[in-house]
Structure 1
Amino acid sequence: MLTAAQQEVLQTIADRQIRFITLWFADVSGVLKGVSIAPGELEDAFKEGIGFDGSSIEGLTRIYESDMLLKPDAATFQELPWHQEERVARMFCDVLGPDGQPAFSDPRGVLERQIEKLAELGFHCQVHPEVEFYLLADVPKPNEEPVPLDRAGYFDHVSGGRSHDFRRKVVSVLEEMGISVEFSHHEGGPGQSEIDLRAVDALQAADNIITLKAVVEELAEREGIIATFMPKPFANAPGSGMHVHLSLFEGEENAFYSPSGQYQMSQTAQRFMAGILHHARGISAITNQHVNSYKRLWGGGEAPSYVCWGHNNRSALVRVPLYKPGKSSSARIEFRGMDSGANPYLALAVILAAGLSGITEKMVLPPETEDDVWGLTETERSALGIAALPTSLSSAVKLMSRSDLVAQTLGEEVFSYFERNKRAEWQEYRAQITPYELNRFLSPCPLNSRPRN
Structure 2
Amino acid sequence: MAKTVSDIQEFIRQQGVKMVDFRMVDIDGKLRHVTIPASRFCEDTVKSGIGFDASNYGYAMLEKSDMVFIPDLDTAMLDPFCETPTLSIGGNAMVIDDPENKPLDQYPRNLTIAAENYMKSTGIADEMLVLPELEFYLFDEVNWKVSDDAIAVSMDTEHAHWNSGTNGTGMIVPKQGNYHITQPYDDTYDCRSEMCLHMEDAGIAVKYHHPEVGAAGQFEVEPKFGPMPAMADAVLNMKYIIRNTAFKYGKTATFMPKPVFGEAGSGMHIHMILRKNGHTIFSDDQGDAHLSQEAHYFMGGLLEHIGSLCAITNPSTNSFKRLVPGYEAPVTVGYATGNRSAVIRIPAYAKSPEVRRFEIRNPDATCNPYYAMAALLMAGLDGIRRKIDPRDRGWGPFSVNLFNLPAEEQAKLEHLPTSLEQALDCLEKDHDYLMEGGVFPEHLIRNFIARKREECREISTVPNPIEFEKYYNA
TM-score for the superposition, normalised by structure 1: 0.92
Cα separation, partners in 2 of 1:390 and 1:173, compared to 1, 3 Å: same
Q: Are the equivalent residues in 2 in contact too, given 1:406–1:415 (CA < 8 A)?
A: no
Deviation at 1:81, TM superposition (A): 2.1
Query: Which residue identity does 2:452 align to in structure 1?
Result: K
Taking the aligned partners of 1:406 and 1:339, their CA distance within structure 2 comes to: 20
User: 2: CA distance between counterparts of 1:116 and 1:12?
Assistant: 32
| Matched position secondary structure for 2:67 | strand
Q: Distance in 2 between matches of 1:141 and 1:53?
A: 31
For 1:241-281, what per-residue CA distance to the aligned partner results, in whole angstroms no more than 9, with x for missing partners? 00011101112211111111111101111111111111111
Distance 2:420 2:80 in 1: 38
Structure 1 match to 2:169:
none
2:415 corresponds to: 388
Residues 379-410 of structure 1 show CA distances to partners (whole Å, capped at 9, x for unaligned) of 32454xx3111010111101111112245543
Q: 1:436 corresponds to which residue?
A: 466
Please state if 1:33 is matched with 2:59.
no
Please state how far the C-alpha of 1:368 moved relative to its aligned partner: 0.6
Partner of 2:217: 191
* 1:339 maps onto 2:338 in alignment: no
Q: Is the 8 A contact 1:173 1:215 kept in 2?
A: yes
What secondary structure sits across from 2:188 in the alignment? helix
Is the 1:150–1:163 contact (alpha carbons within 8 Å) kept by the matching residues of 2? no
> How much does 1:378 deviate?
4.5
Equivalent residue runs for 1:4-83 within 5 Å: 5-39=4-38, 40-59=40-59, 61=61, 65-83=64-82
Q: 1:372 aligns with which of 401, 414, 417?
A: 401
| Amino acid paired to 1:66 | S
Q: Which moves more between the two structures, 227-236 or 151-160?
A: 151-160
Q: CA deviation at 1:34?
A: 0.9
Structure-2 separation of matches of 1:246 and 1:144: 37
Q: Secondary structure at the match of 1:23?
A: strand
| Partner of residue 88, structure 2 | 90
Whole-angstrom distance in 2 between the partners of 1:126 and 1:401: 28
Q: Deviations over 1:171-199 (max 9, x none)?
A: 11111212111000000002001000110
For 2:92 and 2:309, locate their aligned partners in 1 and report how far apart those are by CA, in whole Å: 24
2:450 is matched with which residue? 420
Q: Tell me how far 1:164 sits from its aligned partner.
A: 1.3
Match of 1:402 among 429, 434, 441: 429
Q: Alignment partner of 1:285: what SS?
A: helix
The CA distance in 1 between the partners of 2:206 and 2:434, in whole Å, is: 31
Aligned to 2:255: 229
- SS of 1:221's partner is helix
Structure 1 letter corresponding to 2:126: F
Distance (Å, rounded) in 2 between the aligned partners of 1:220 and 1:112: 32
**Cα distance in 2, alignment partners of residues 42 and 329 from structure 1:** 42
RMSD: 1.7
**2:268 maps to which residue?**
242
User: Which runs of 5 or more structure 2 residues have no equivalent in the other structure?
Assistant: 146-151, 161-172
Change (3 A) 1:355 1:117: same
2:3, 2:74 within 8 Å by CA — same for their partners in 1? no
User: For 2:183, what is the secondary structure of its paired residue?
Assistant: coil
Partner secondary structure for residue 69 of structure 2:
strand
1:312-337 deviation per Cα after TM superposition (whole angstroms, max 9, x unaligned): 21101001113142x21211111101
Distance 2:185 2:380 in 1: 44
Residue of structure 2 in register with 1:140 after alignment: 143
TM-superposed deviation, 1:343: 0.9
Letter in 1 for 2:419: S
Please report how far the alpha carbon of residue 293 of structure 1 lies from its aligned counterpart in structure 2 after TM superposition. Answer: 0.4
Closer, same or farther: CA 390–407 of 1 in aligned 2, 3 Å: farther
Aligned partner of 1:101 in structure 2 is 102
Quote the residue 2:116 is aligned against.
115
Q: 1:129 deviation in Å? A: 1.0
Aligned counterparts of 1:60 and 1:174: Cα–Cα separation in 2: 33
CA separation in 2, counterparts of 1:440 and 1:364? Answer: 45
- Tell me which amino acid in the other structure corresponds to 2:234: N
2:235 partner SS: helix
User: How many residues align structurally?
Assistant: 437
Deviation digits for residues 354-378 of structure 1 (CA, Å, limit 9, x no counterpart): 0011111111122311121122245
- Partner deviation per Cα, 1:122-171 (whole Å, 9 max, x = no partner): 32011111000001111224424321353340000122743212111101
Is the CA contact 1:135–1:149 (under 8 Å) kept in the aligned structure 2?
Answer: no
Which secondary structure state, in structure 2, belongs to the residue aligned with residue 71 of structure 1?
strand
Contact 1:291 1:426 in 2 (8 A): yes
Aligned to 1:450: none
Question: After superposition, what is the alpha-carbon deviation per residue over 1:279-328, rounded to whole angstroms, capped at 9, x for unaligned?
Answer: 11111110000000000012531100111100021101001113142x21
Whole-angstrom distance in 2 between the partners of 1:221 and 1:209: 18
State how far apart, in whole Å, the 1-side matches of 2:192 and 2:221 are: 8
> Equivalent residue for 1:313?
339
Q: Residue 81 of structure 1 contacts residue 176 of structure 1 at CA under 8 Å; is this kept in 2?
A: no
C-alpha contact (below 8 Å) 2:142/2:154 kept by paired residues = no
Residue aligning to 1:220:
246
1:283 equivalent among 309, 322, 340: 309
Q: Would the aligned equivalents of 1:407 and 1:415 in 2 still touch at CA under 8 Å?
A: no
> Partner residue of 1:126?
129
Partner of 2:168: none
In structure 2, relative to structure 1, the CA distance for the partners of 1:276 and 1:141 (3 Å cut) is closer
Structure 2 SS opposite 1:25: strand
The whole-number CA distance in structure 2 between the counterparts of 1:370 and 1:233 is 31
Q: Shift of residue 55 of structure 1? A: 1.9
Change (3 A) 1:150 1:299: farther
Is the contact between residue 23 and residue 92 of structure 1 (CA under 8 Å) also seen in structure 2?
A: yes
CA distance in structure 2 between the aligned counterparts of 1:149 and 1:310, rounded to whole angstroms: 37
Give the 3 Å change call, closer, same or farther, for CA 278–141 of structure 1 in structure 2: closer
